[in-house]
Copies of this chain bind each other. A is one copy, B any other.
Amino acid sequence: MKNSIKVQRAIHDMTQADLAQAIGVSRQTINAMEKNKYVPSTVLSLKIAKLFKKPLEEIFFLEETD
Contacts and interface: CB of A to CB of B under 8 A. Distances in A.
Interface in A18-59: 39-47, 49-50, 55-57
Given A47-B66, A66-B47, A42 B60 contact: yes
Main SS of chain A's interface residues?
Answer: helix
Number of copies: 2
A14 interface: no
A1 interface: yes
For chain A, which range describes its interface: under 10, 10 to 19, 20 to 34, or 35 or more residues? Answer: 10 to 19
A39 B49 contact: no
14 contacts: A1-B43, A1-B46, A39-B41, A39-B42, A41-B41, A41-B42, A42-B44, A42-B45, A43-B62, A43-B66, A46-B56, A46-B57, A49-B57, A56-B57
